[in-house]
Chain A
């Protein structure tokens, strides 16, 4: 990217090191902007979808058409709000927590492949990288709960830690068969393995189909969405780990959650739903790739929103039961079966 910048007339005289830093900052800015705008869009769409599910309208006034600018107005409100912190909070941890949560989502955006040449960093270990960065979120949740010096928040943090760490196992195991099939952790390569007609999508392979469902359900737990929203559990733990946060700190948690929703959806699309390919070769022109990718991801985000406003929430032990006694055995068996079939066929 810094080569592009050096071609701009205004910046052509600057030394290369400055240009590299400038390129990094501007790339970060672009991603941040995308997350902020995307997050605001998801928050608005969540409220609209919730409204229609609950036979009401949702936001209708701000911004004219169906309250499109409601999230922006809320963002401004949160910026202007007083930043209240608990007297006996563990200040460094407490301040760091929202940033960690946001960082987890932010770093994942770097490798999301919107198109063959439209990716922040084309890492060879892209999938592994996403799994690693999304684990940062749980660090934020734990430090928020511990740092708040609030017992309810502590409960939220403990639940969050147990849940996210547990569900990362089936999540990873569900992705592994696909990695075995494509022989690469690079997200772009995984997508390219699904080029052509729709039957090439990994979703339509029976074993990957099982993986897909495990992935989708585990990803709900990974991003703390209903029916696995136990770290928040509005009706039990007041507001869970972010009980004590106000203003912009709260907004970071909020934005981080929606950015995370998009990340897990985008990874689902990448690994199982053909990524930027539409499934019809005639439509696969490079200009449409980002659009197709984003639309598919939106669909998975919509599914998450839809589930949230439909289902009740599980209990802690039931959550663990589903993970350790249902998903992990199935995912392991699936992985083994795929390995055996692959070895026999080759």
Chain B
């Protein structure tokens, strides 16, 4: 409370010899228990009336030493910990980790041949989870802006996806479905039917979401020209995913550095265009997610059409997986952005070090830059548009 300064805006009447009104800046903890910080994020904000003059994020409320745990667990055992990172897109985290282990093995001369069928299963399930994650982003963004109904509509479709996942792997949130060398189980027939049903129904639901929120006058007023991030700043801060694409940078690892079998599918990378405001505003980031759901739907549709006949879902892997001494880094496009694992092996069954690059961690820190000079309401809108998951930020 030391920051005392004369208030600039209050005019004193002409000829009045009264002293200018002293005002103080107010320091507030936004979080760790705050409805719009999406978990246990704590923002220390300094405000001047409704204006925010400084934002400092404090992290660590959900820190579970995941990277240290990796050093004591085998490569297989660590998969379940990747579930707990981005818990809204656990499949994608599993996938990225498995990709990282597989590619580290490959780069160190161990052949890992993932069955074609398993690659298709991975893409279908991974893209379904991308839709589920974006649905949560869409729904909670509505909540941040004050519209409660879209959340329930979004959860309804997410429920359908979770039902599919439950049939596929038995879990609804923490899947551990991907494994080094493929996936753990085949997709059962009834789950495949549900996926096909979901493909049929989803575009109509997307239209419904757009009717509910996207074009709403109040929603546009609240999000257009708010929290504008230009492309250079995004790149400086290491932002990826919809945050970077919302600022008009066409960067998506599925196209730019295709992994798995993404080069076989026809899909577009939506970028922010500033349709209702400036390029890189909250609305653009929101809209990129909406368009990405459609693109994911296209990928799933193509993958389900072309999926080869049932076969092996796992590569031939040694039961006690050892990685030769060496290191490797691999990254993949997660719903929140670019996730990567850096694995150093000393030749044993456990990694010597396993560092995670989580997208939300980098996306969060831009709030320090963009939060300055906003109103409190805009800050909430900006945080929502970054789509943070604290499990992944703190690990």
Binding site for B on A (CB under 8 A): 50, 53-56, 151-152, 155, 226-227, 229, 233-238, 309-318
Contact = CB atoms under 8 A, between A and B. Distances in A.
B222 interface: yes
Contacts of B34: 238
Residue from A56, A233, A312, A314 whose CB has the most chain B CB atoms within 10 Å: A312
Interface in B219-253: 219, 221-222
B26 A151 contact: yes
A312 B375 contact: no
Given A235-B143, A314-B222, A53 B149 contact: yes
B147 interface: yes
Interface string B118-154: 0000000000000000000000001111111100110
Contact of A234 (B35, B142, B152): B35
Given A54-B148, A235-B144, A309-B148, A152 B222 contact: no
Residue from B143, B148, B219 whose CB has the most chain A CB atoms within 10 Å: B148
A50 B151 CA distance: 12
B148 A233 contact: no
Contacts of B156: 55
A151 B222 CA distance: 24
A235 B218 CA distance: 16
Contact of A312 (B28, B147, B378): B147
B28 A315 contact: no
Nearest to A314: B218
Interface string B60-86: 000000000000000000000000000
Interface string B24-59: 001010000011100000000000001000000000
B216 interface: yes
A151 B380 contact: no
Interface of B is mostly: helix
Contact of A311 (B147, B376, B377): B147
Contacts of A152: 28
Give me the 9 closest cross-chain CB pairs, A-B, nearest first.
A313-B146, A54-B152, A312-B147, A312-B145, A235-B36, A312-B146, A315-B377, A312-B218, A312-B219
Nearest to A236: B380
Contact of B377 (A56, A234, A316): A316
A236 B218 contact: no
Given A236-B36, A238-B35, A315 B378 contact: yes
B218 A227 contact: yes
B269 interface: no
A56 B152 contact: yes
B332 to A, nearest CB: 32
A112 to B, nearest CB: 30
B173 interface: no
